[in-house]
Structure formats: structure tokens, C-alpha cells
Amino acid sequence: MAKPDPLVEMRHISRNFGGLQALSNANLEVYPGEVLGLLGHNGAGKSTLIKILAGAETASEGAIFINGHEAHINGPNDARAYGIETIYQELALCGNLDAPANLYMGREISNWGFLNKKAMKEETAKALSRLNIRIKSLDTEVETMSGGQRQAISIGRAVHFNAKILIMDEPTAALGMEESKMVMDLTVELKKQGIGIIWISHDIHEVYNFTDRITILHGGENVVTAPTKDFTEDEIVSMIISGRPVERAANEEA
């Protein structure tokens, strides 16, 4: 079976801040229905690369392609228009509002200048049901929900507004074991729907057992991009620390 075309390609991305070279000729690609683990120490360039894709930063050099066509991303709204959504570790939710208000924040349904709360609640129920997300009451304020439920609402919001590429920044870092499993199960459902996921995590065991491929950055440059299971966990840690590919990485994907 022929390999599908990538949803997103970031080619030869460089970014400098004055005299600091944050990225140098970095590349990243994500395919439909896969989880790509993006790895590297703090300062490796992960955040800068993702901010460029999300429209929070602009590249000094390089290009981004979405579904094979060059994309011009000059801000977060441009990224969303291309179907790129980001879920940051610090969830952008309002704790004193319920699930429908958070899901539709900034995109409220209104009639004649008045919020259509009934429609938003109905559409929220459909959006969460699509992903098998179960929340006891949609009228509950988000701040009273568990971390896993809040994460699920953020994911549901992204998918409801037609995300094709989902960036997840340390999605399980603040969650317990059961809630982490809930988020992972939800991500598996997203894969089935053909969404491409960039999974940023420092948990090597999680990355090893959950991602399809990995891209490792070191000093703003690519170390390796390859199927996760091409390596052992120890080899992945070694590449993150040393910034050098292990010997078997000679057969990595182009």
C-alpha cells in the first residue's frame, strides 16, 4: 500500500532571535492518523518549531506545506484556518464557565445578538459524544472537573472546529494514571478519524509505547526522524542527550 501524503511538512525551518539560533534547518512531517513524538531537552527547539506551526512565531527561513500546498501562517487564526489546533500544557479554559461556554469560547452561537445557549449545549454534547467523552453534566463549571475531563474538553473543542493537525504539549504531565489513559484512549480515537497528532512529552516510556514515529531535536537541529520502535528506550534517551543518532539510525526515513 502506498504511503499517504503528509498532512503537514515543515521544511528547512530556521529561526533566530538576535544572536541566538533557536532552529537551524529543522524538518518535521506528520501523516494522517499517526502520533509523532517530538522530543528533545529544554532549549532543543521543540517549542519554537511548534510555535511557528501554530502561528505564534514566524520562521526566519524555510516553508510549511499543508496537504502538499505551501501554507502562509502569520498568526494563530491562519493556523486554525489550515486545521491546526494546539492544546498547551496550561489549558486555555475558563474555570468559572461550563463545558459549552468553553467549547464555543470566541465562536459563540448567537441569534439576534443573544447567545443561543441551547444550541451550544446540544452541539457540545454531539462533539463530546463523537469522541466518546463522557461528562456527567455539561452545566458543571470546568474548574470542578478532573484534569482528564478538562483535557478532553480542550481536545473536543479542537476537533469540533475541524482540526486536522493537533499539537499536544505535555498532554498527560499533570494527570494521574487513569486520567492519562483516558487522554491516550481519546487520542487513539482521533487517529481513527485521520487526525495527525504531534505529541510533545518528556516521558520516554509514554512516548515509546504510544507514538508511531519520533523526531528528536538537539540544539535546534534534527537528530533523527524514524519509527519509534526502530530504537530502544535507552537509545532514544541517548540521542536526546548526545544529539547524535545511534548507528541503526542510518536507515531512518528520508
The β-bridge relationship of strands 8-17 and 20-30 is antiparallel
The pLDDT, as a whole number, for residue 177 is 81
Q: Which residues of the chain have pLDDT under 70?
A: 1-2, 89-92, 248-254
**What was the pLDDT predicted at 91?**
60
- Cα gap 18→45, rounded to integer Å: 15
Whole-prediction pTM: 0.85
Please report the pLDDT score of residue 251 as a whole number.
Answer: 47
Matching CATH number, 8-96+162-227+242-251, of 3.20.20.140, 3.40.50.2300, 3.40.50.11750, 3.40.50.300: 3.40.50.300
pLDDT at residue 89, as a whole number: 60
Contact between 93 and 155 under an 8 Å Cβ cutoff? The reply is no
State how far the Cα of 200 lies from the Cα of 30, in Å rounded to an integer. 13
Q: What is the pLDDT of residue 197?
A: 95
